[in-house]
Amino acid sequence: MNATISRAAARPRAALPAARANERAGRRLPALALLGALLCAACSADKLEVPDLNNPSIESLEQTPTPSAVAAAAQGLLIGARIPMGVRNGYISLLGILGRESYVFDPADPRFVAEMLESPLDAGSPAFGANLWNQRYQNLRTAAIVLAAVTKVGGFSDAQKEAVRGFTKTMMAYDLLLVINTRDNAGAVIQFDAPPDQPAPIASRTEVFNQIVTLLDEAKAHLQKGGDAFPFRLSTGFTGFSTPATFLKFNRALRARVADYMGSLNIGGTTTNFQAALQALQESFIDPTGALDLGVYHVFSTGSGDTQNTLLEPVVLAHPSLERDVEKKANGQPDDRFTAKLRRLDATAKQRGLETSLGFRLYQSQDAPIPIIRNEELILLRAEANIGLGNIQAAAQDINLIRQRSGGLPARTDLTAANILDELLRQRRYSLLFEGDRWVDLRRYNRLTDALKDLPTHVVNRQFPIPIAECLARGQTTCG
């Protein structure tokens, strides 16, 4: 899909390549990453605590890094990663709209319907079509600086340096995965240290996924040599995964997700990727008998200066198809996930010909965590890999486990190679509801069809365009 730059959108303005977008105003890192970590000294004590290093510049990290500055910058990657997640025009919300999980009926901003559902996404619209790019690359640029700094910093042991590298490359892979999840065939940048006047090229989707795999696998090797502890404190969202050895289980969980994505997209071969997914899952924290919510989370706080989760806003609503399509239990009541995650509105909400009577129970406080990856997803990832390899009985066992434990539904005895993928996607829809997965799942299995349209005038957007500034910086009027 090409995103053509309109004449109005293409009017001259500063076009700063995203990979260097944070080098401005004295080349200081933005609040999205390092500065965010420094300011987080005001966060509540159970979140992130770092010293106030008086806003060190990029130069200080590149030329004379100190252990405390490197640690703060590495820890700041967690803050940078969560910023675009818990807001109405962030990753969860916008992908929820495109995947027909959610609506945002904001009377002050009809673009949540007009642009997201009624028209192709606009490459010049920073809050919508051009969104979910700059913040990720600001974080990726910070991570690249951390990797360069940790090589020459004094005061860290070799094991501590390896721990920082393993953590940083894992977070880079996570950020880059979320970028390609939004851009798909448009591609993304995989070089994060190009000079401002020589922007790095846009890499293909295949190149991006291969780079993600490289980062995760290199991170694994670093973490295995990372000693007993990180030289900085992780957030409470990493409880149980806060040492190099336990963080490696999180790394392998992400690796399994990436392998399944690549298998479904036939990037590098389906068999190879689905086998890689099963191997990674064996090294992850998958536990069919454990808590399904066990996992790693973005955490938020109501403390002064910290980021809040605002997905509880009353304008953020659930798509009516979630009720129309829900499976009923033996007693006639809906799937337990529907009951636990959705609520009935006091009055039907309407906007631009759309209406819904459903809202979310999820994220009902400003400090509600948002999952990065959970045990429930890992079990479904194992089912997906086994489907891809033709192991239908093994896949059915995991799917039925989720049906029974998460949905309160009876096991299915009729699953075959012909219908099991449909069942997997149904279980992922309700198990991973409003976590940023549905639109990606539909696209990678070629299920983004006109059947998703709520009205005949709507469109089905397959990907976000590359932002206009990135195209202009490369001398192009269209990107992706």
Per-residue pLDDT tens digits for 288-306? 999 999 999 999 998 887 8
What is the distance between the alpha carbons of residues 93 and 299, in angstroms, rounded to a whole number? 17
93 — phi, psi (to 5°)?
Answer: -70, -50
pLDDT in the model for residue 1: 38
For residue 374, what pLDDT band results from cuts at 50, 70 and 90? Answer: very high
pLDDT at 82 over 90: yes
What is the distance between the alpha carbons of residues 348 and 265, in angstroms, rounded to a whole number? 39
**CA neighbours within 13 Å on the CB side: how many for 453?**
12
What is the distance between the alpha carbons of residues 378 and 398, in angstroms, rounded to a whole number? 10
pLDDT in the model for residue 59: 74
For residue 57, what pLDDT band results from cuts at 50, 70 and 90? Answer: low
pLDDT at 16 over 50: no
Please, which residues have CB within 8 angstroms of residue 190's CB and are 6 or more apart in sequence? Answer: 176, 200, 203, 207, 208, 211
State the DSSP string of 173-224. Answer: HHHHHHHHHHHGGG-B-------TTSPPPPBPHHHHHHHHHHHHHHHHHHHH
pLDDT digits (tens, 9 = 90+) for 201-237: 999 999 999 999 999 999 999 999 999 999 999 999 9
Q: Which two tokens stand for residue 145?
A: 């600086």
State the DSSP string of 384-401. Answer: HHHHHTT-HHHHHHHHHH
What is the distance between the alpha carbons of residues 185 and 181, in angstroms, rounded to a whole number? 10
- DSSP H helical ranges for 30-157: 34-39, 58-63, 67-82, 91-98, 111-114, 134-152
For the chain, what percent of residues have pLDDT higher than 70? 88
Mean pLDDT of the chain: 89
For the chain, what percent of residues have pLDDT higher than 90? 82
Pick 307 or 420 by higher pLDDT.
420
Q: How many residues does the chain have?
A: 480
pLDDT in the model for residue 18: 40
pLDDT digits (tens, 9 = 90+) for 117-163: 999 999 999 999 999 999 999 999 999 999 999 999 999 999 999 99
pLDDT in the model for residue 343: 97
Cα distances (angstroms) measured from residue 78 to each of 33, 58, 426, 435, 473: 8, 18, 31, 17, 29
What is the distance between the alpha carbons of residues 445 and 462, in angstroms, rounded to a whole number? 12
pLDDT at 186 over 90: yes
- DSSP H helical ranges for 240-355: 244-265, 270-282, 321-324, 336-341
pLDDT at 371 over 80: yes
pLDDT at 373 over 60: yes
pLDDT digits (tens, 9 = 90+) for 27-53: 444 333 343 333 333 333 344 444 444
Taking alpha carbons only, the member of 183, 234, 224, 225 closest to residue 206 is 183
Q: Which two tokens stand for residue 12?
A: 């001259």
Cα distances (angstroms) measured from residue 308 to each of 74, 127, 129, 301, 340: 21, 18, 23, 6, 22
Task: Please tell me what DSSP assigns to residue 472.
Answer: H
pLDDT in the model for residue 480: 63
pLDDT at 55 over 90: no
